[in-house]
Amino acid sequence: HMLSKVGMWDFDIFLFDRLTNGNSLVTLLCHLFNTHGLIHHFKLDMVTLHRFLVMVQEDYHSQNPYHNAVHAADVTQAMHCYLKEPKLASFLTPLDIMLGLLAAAAHDVDHPGVNQPFLIKTNHHLANLYQVREPNLEPDTVWSIALGPVLKPESCPWRNPCFRVLEVQR
């Protein structure tokens, strides 16, 4: 009964989390992948999908009062609401939907619950791991680290025009 309301903005994620015994993210994503036809479209193995989703859920810190798996489930449910908006839904491919849901689900994985300056000042291992000494990385640095190697000009014909637009706007 509760999952029939998953497309409503007033969905009670805290009640859902209690009803799923703390497995709201996994349960929600399995349901949404099925609802959107992603399991069939991508021929996903349910056991493998479930294991992956459990890993994502477990990589959230339950003791974190905000950036936890319930928050991830809440953001994922909101993403589902956005993705089903008629003006947007007609333009989305199954890959767009899957990536949107997964991005929402994993957006705060392993978040320690503190901000970057705190991590730097306390010499936290995450600050050392990412070797970040400035409050914000330059957009070019973020782009090159995250997407640069993947999106070579020869493999993405739209990449060069996008870079030209970004360079003009800077």
User: Burial, 45: exposed, middle or buried (Cβ in 10 Å; 0-12, 13-18, 19+)?
Assistant: exposed
Name which of 87, 85, 90, 102 is nearest 33 in CA terms.
102
108 is in an annotated binding site: yes
Tokens 């392993």 belong to: 110
Spatial distance between the Cα atoms of 23 and 69, rounded to a whole number of angstroms: 8
Q: Is 50 annotated as a binding residue?
A: no
Q: Is 80 a catalytic residue?
A: no
- Which among 40, 50, 67, 125 is annotated as catalytic? 67
Secondary structure, 3-state, 12-43: CHHHHHHHCCCCHHHHHHHHHHHHCCHHHHCC
**Residue 107 labeled ligand binder:** yes
Classify each residue of 48-85 as buried b or exposed e, where b means 16 or more C-beta atoms within 10 Å of its C-beta: ebeeebeebbeebbeebeebbbbbbbbbbbebbeebee
Catalytic residues: 67
Which residue ranges make up the annotated binding site? 71, 107-108
Which residue ranges make up the annotated binding site for Zn(2+)? 71, 107-108
